[in-house]
Amino acid sequence: MDEKGYIVSSLSFLLMIPAILLVFIIFTVNNIGTEPSSIAIQSKNVFYEVNDLKNNIPRISKKVINEISMQVIDRGAVNDSREVVKEKLQLKINQILAKSEFNDGLRINCTVLSVETGDDPFIIQINSTIHVSKNTVVHEENISQNISIEGLPDCLPFIVCSEFGKPEIIEDKIYYNSYLFEFLNNKNISNSEVYINATSPFLIKKCPYHPYTVHGNLLNLKNCIENGYYHESNDGACYLCRLEGKNTCPHYGIETFIIPQCMKNSTFIMAPCSIDHVLFNKTSFYGMGIDYYQNNLYYYKIFLDNGHRLKYGINH
Ligand SMILES: [Zn+2]
Ligand SMILES: [Zn+2]
């Protein structure tokens, strides 16, 4: 072979490496001198297809988790949410890959390995392996992707109240009507009536107030409550465990406020604690009332135990 031509083609080959799947292309290239453009197109296609799949997994995962959560709201908790998400996600990916047409002989598969709560409780981690093969050449790649749970529905309140009725969903809020009161009253908890017509957020939103002690400024607390934010929590269940109907779990989780209906007077000093996982618990804890807002007609209150007062910087 002409030495100069050899060097030039080696160089162009090196330049192409970042844009191609490594091992795969080395074996496919037979005649780099005469067909560089068609090889470039082919490798671009492989690169594109694999990246397209990679970019799509988070979007498909979020859609799948959203669907499962909505099913839980209608039909009740699942036993093993990680397995349910994993199976449904695998099915969806298989369907998408079956519909895709790749260049002759090219095969792309994706195996979902696991679905887990991230170290950050607002993240769900999806681990998978992508397999690419053409003829006898195989390329495998393990990927780990983070899905934000923001914007997904909170199904736990519906599971908790299911014995008494289905709370209403209006825009991004849950309206409990009498069902949460009935749930609490059934456990003989006094002052449960403050939760008649209570509300809580329907969609997960991460609270932007950091550190959490700035909630001690009641304007921040009011804004947090009105926006329906969620907070990181050692005791509150993570998103995946909520799908199983758990209010607490071993993972680092999330919590939100359950908001009693506004009151004409401020006579309630103590009532069941307004933190979701505490209120939904089998044994109940009481909290002291905090008037986070009042106007001429109404008092707006939540009730917090000492631990949560400390967490949110409330000393009133
Ligand atoms: Zn907040
Ligand atoms: Zn969990």
The ligand minimizing its distance to the Cα of 254 is 2
Same domain, 94 and 185: no
> Which pLDDT score is estimated for 100?
81
Same domain, 88 and 11: yes
The ligand minimizing its distance to the Cα of 81 is 2
Residue 43 included in any domain: yes
Same domain, 128 and 168: no
Question: Among 16-25, 137-146, 204-213, where is mean pLDDT lowest?
Answer: 16-25
Strand 168-170 relative to strand 137-148, pairing: unpaired
Q: How far is the CA of 123 from the centre of ligand 2 (A)?
A: 12
Same domain, 76 and 162: no
159: closest CA among 29, 69, 52, 263?
69
Same domain, 112 and 213: no
Give per-residue pLDDT as tens, 280-312: 998 878 999 999 999 999 999 999 999 999 999
Same domain, 189 and 300: yes
Per the structure, the count of domains in the chain is 2
Residue range 29-39: average pLDDT? 43
25: closest CA among 131, 139, 101, 105?
139
Q: How far is the CA of 227 from the centre of ligand 1 (A)?
A: 9
Q: How far is the CA of 18 from the centre of ligand 1 (A)?
A: 44
Residue 91 pLDDT greater than 70, yes or no: yes
Same domain, 169 and 119: no
The ligand minimizing its distance to the Cα of 250 is 2
Q: Where does a domain end: 118, 148, 178?
A: 148
Name the phi and psi angles at 84, rounded to 5: -65, -45
Rounded CA separation 236/94 (Å)? 34
Rounded CA separation 243/246 (Å)? 7
Residue 316 included in any domain: no
Residue range 141-164: average pLDDT? 97
Q: Is the CB of residue 233 less than 8 Å from the CB of residue 277? A: yes
Give per-residue pLDDT as tens, 240-271: 999 999 999 999 999 999 999 999 988 888 99
Residue 182 included in any domain: yes
> Which pLDDT score is estimated for 18?
52
Q: How far is the CA of 275 from the centre of ligand 1 (A)?
A: 12
- Domain range for 266 is 156-311
Same domain, 307 and 166: yes
The ligand minimizing its distance to the Cα of 215 is 1
pTM: 0.84
Interacting residues of 210 by C-beta distance below 8 A, sequence separation 6+ = none
Q: How far is the CA of 119 from the centre of ligand 2 (A)?
A: 11
Q: How far is the CA of 150 from the centre of ligand 1 (A)?
A: 14
Q: How far is the CA of 235 from the centre of ligand 2 (A)?
A: 10
> Which pLDDT score is estimated for 22?
44
Q: How far is the CA of 206 from the centre of ligand 1 (A)?
A: 8
Q: Where does a domain end: 96, 119, 148?
A: 148
Q: Where does a domain end: 148, 165, 193?
A: 148
Q: How far is the CA of 255 from the centre of ligand 2 (A)?
A: 12
Residue 85 included in any domain: yes
Same domain, 143 and 178: no
Which is higher by pLDDT, 89 or 29?
89
The ligand minimizing its distance to the Cα of 257 is 1
Where does the pLDDT of residue 35 fall: very low under 50, low under 70, confident under 90, or very high at 90 and above? Answer: very low
The ligand minimizing its distance to the Cα of 236 is 2
Q: How far is the CA of 314 from the centre of ligand 1 (A)?
A: 12
Same domain, 81 and 165: no
Same domain, 307 and 177: yes
Same domain, 67 and 185: no
Q: How far is the CA of 229 from the centre of ligand 1 (A)?
A: 5
